[in-house]
Amino acid sequence: MTEGQHRSHGESARRPGRADAGGPAGAGRGADDLGDLLTRVARGDQDAYAAVYDRTAGQVLGLVRTVVRDPAQSEEVAQEVLLDVWRSASRFDAGLGSASAWVMTLAHRRAVDRVRSEQKAAERERRVASSAVAYDEVVEAVEARLDRERVRRCLGSLTELQRESVTLAYYGGYTYREVAGLLGVAVGTVKTRMRDGMIRLRDCLGVDL
């Protein structure tokens, strides 16, 4: 995140506060430390917030990057942290620690939350993907089994010659002439029996054959 980006974000992030309320940041108050600036930010001082932003943005991004790793996400989290500073400056208590430690604590919490959120999202995606694969496999197995049972049941409704002719031709890959030779019947008989058998199968299975 460049200095120009920090400034740009500072200008945008200052919008939640009221209009300029006290002149240029640090004018006549060069000795103000970060804690004093946060106190002014809590009162809605936009210039004080700009000063806090400039002082802490680099440190915030550096800490976040050590936790989040991903550069783009690190910048997003750093932006969120600096907005948190604007929103929750009133929660800073100098009696509990330094202003810098308070800001860095916000940064660390945000970074850890982002990592945990990403890990949970990845785990959910893995579970969904695993469940989808398992579901598809079960559905396919059930459908295949049901189809085999339906075909077997419907084949059982044919005459012996029809069943043998259909089985040899469709499952064995034999030609009419070869089927006729194997069954010892005329080719015309095989064609007739197969035609009648396929009509009965179509009606039984409820599909176009």
Residue 20 pLDDT greater than 50, yes or no: no
Q: How confident is the model over 185-197, as a mean pLDDT? A: 85
Instruction: Give the DSSP H or E segment for 201.
Output: helix 187-205
DSSP assigned state of 168: I
Mean pLDDT of the chain: 78
Which two tokens mark 80? 């969120």
Convert the pLDDT of each residue in 80-126 to its tens digit.
999 999 999 999 998 889 999 999 999 999 999 999 998 988 887 77
Task: Give the Cα separation of 178 and 162 in Å (integer).
Answer: 15
Give the pLDDT of residue 158.
81
Give the pLDDT of residue 21.
35
H-only helix segments in the chain: 3-13, 34-42, 46-68, 71-88, 99-155, 160-166, 176-183, 187-205
Sorted by sequence, the CB contacts under 8 Å of residue 120 that are 6+ apart come out as: none
Which two tokens mark 112? 């850890």
Give the pLDDT of residue 2.
41
Helix (H, G, I), strand (E, B) or coil at 174: coil
Handedness of CA 148, 152, 158, 164 (dihedral sign): positive
Band (pLDDT 50/70/90 cuts) for residue 138 is low
Convert the pLDDT of each residue in 35-75 to its tens digit.
999 999 999 999 999 999 999 999 999 999 999 999 999 99
CB atoms closer than 10 angstroms to residue 203: 12
More confident call, 73 vs 204:
73
Give the pLDDT of residue 129.
65
What percentage of the chain exceeds 70 in pLDDT?
74
Give the pLDDT of residue 203.
80
Band (pLDDT 50/70/90 cuts) for residue 136 is low
Task: Give the Cα separation of 95 and 97 in Å (integer).
Answer: 6
Give the pLDDT of residue 150.
75
Give the pLDDT of residue 183.
84
Domains and CATH numbers, the chain: 3-124 (1.10.1740.10), 156-205 (1.10.10.10)
Count how many residues are written for the chain. 209
